[in-house]
A and B are shown apart, each in its own frame.
Chain A
Amino acid sequence: MHELAITQSILDIAVKTAKDNGGVKVKEIRIKMGEYSGVVPSLIQEYFDLVSRDTLAEKALLIIDRVPLTVRCLSCGFEGAIDRMKIRCPICGGTDIKLLTGREFYVDSLEVEELDGDKGSQADPGVE
């Protein structure tokens, strides 16, 4: 249920960024989400469809890119992906490791329509 609070934050970021850049409609929101995050991606889109009603991000598609958990072993220097259920170096078994990726949770980019001219990569459906 905390997905609702998180979704509201995604919406706020998208709407503000679009407005600041002269956008009139948000079509896509691309999110980077580390594997380590406990957020349920499918819930985010459902909640988003609810909270985005009557905003310029209404009907925007959320594209969530999961980022694998990767680490550097401070003992043997191994760098690479590991299983989140086994936080140790797969080569030397060391537990003195530094997380490189996997904790990300941010709005990476937006696809927006501007007021005149550029309607993005898709053709204007013209049915509004």
Chain B
Amino acid sequence: MEIKVVKQILEWNEDCSNEIKKDLKEKKVCLINVLGSPGAGKTSLIMKLIEKLREEYRIGVIEGDIAGQIDAEKIDRLGLPVVQLQTDGACHIEAMSIQHILPMFQLEDLDVLFVENIGNLVCPAEFNIGENFRIAMLSVPEGDDKVEKYPLMFATSEALVIHKADMLPYFEFDRNRVKEKATDINPHLTVFEVSSRTEEGLDAFLAWLIERINKELQ
């Protein structure tokens, strides 16, 4: 006997993601999902953004890692609300985990919540976590072929930060190839070259980010 089913396989995650979205919209919190490889500089960039934005916005951070709490301790030293999410081996964060963690924040006292996803170019891209938008990161030492090899993350993000831009003179990294391939798979992607260390390119990215956050908080 054939049974027609037509049931979404990721329904549990999508439903939960939509609940989070609704909840955060009511509380006027903008959730930003930051994606990239281990070592892309996600924590460094988030810390730099905190430094530049904390006068303007009340910021919280969820640090996703497979194990440990090194990153959360770094953010904690900045004196901001931070929660470490340990996935205990899992390669991505699911919406349910975010939903469990949100009550640990005073959401009424927050404007922006950064989620640093698990360092991984593949799996996190499949799972919405109630974010308003995604920022993808690719650092120069990783190589300029990653967009073609791992398209989904770049296809679902609104901004791509080519990070460690101060390393461009030292690597054979064709920034134009990255930009071209990334906008081929996602014509609405905005690409920035940023170094958190030297702050080059940071102002342009901050201007975009502030405009984007304000649009969500209206």
Contact = CB atoms under 8 A, between A and B. Distances in A.
B184 A86 contact: yes
Q: Which has the most chain A C-beta neighbours within 10 Å: B3, B90, B127, B184?
A: B3
A52 B152 CA distance: 29
B4 A109 contact: yes
Nearest to B3: A110
B53 interface: no
A120 B1 contact: yes
B68 interface: no
B10 A105 contact: yes
A114 interface: yes
B9 A109 contact: no
Interface in B92-115: 92, 94
A9 B148 contact: no
- Report, as a range, how many residues of chain A touch the other chain: 35 or more
B1 A109 contact: no
A91 interface: no
Contacts of B40: none
A48 B84 CA distance: 31
Contacts of A112: 1, 3
A31 B5 CA distance: 10
Interface in A1-56: 1-2, 5-6, 9-10, 13-14, 17-18, 21, 23, 31, 36-39
Contacts, number: 92
Contacts of A86: 184-185
Contact of A87 (B9, B152, B186): B186
Contact of A2 (B4, B127, B184): B127
Nearest to B123: A2
B1 A113 contact: yes
B9 A31 contact: yes
A78 interface: no
Contacts of B91: 1-2
B141 interface: no
Given A107-B7, A114-B1, 7 more contacts: A2-B91, A23-B1, A23-B3, A84-B185, A108-B6, A109-B6, A111-B3
17 contacts: A2-B92, A2-B126, A9-B9, A10-B9, A17-B5, A21-B1, A39-B126, A85-B181, A87-B184, A107-B7, A107-B9, A108-B5, A108-B6, A109-B2, A109-B6, A110-B3, A111-B2
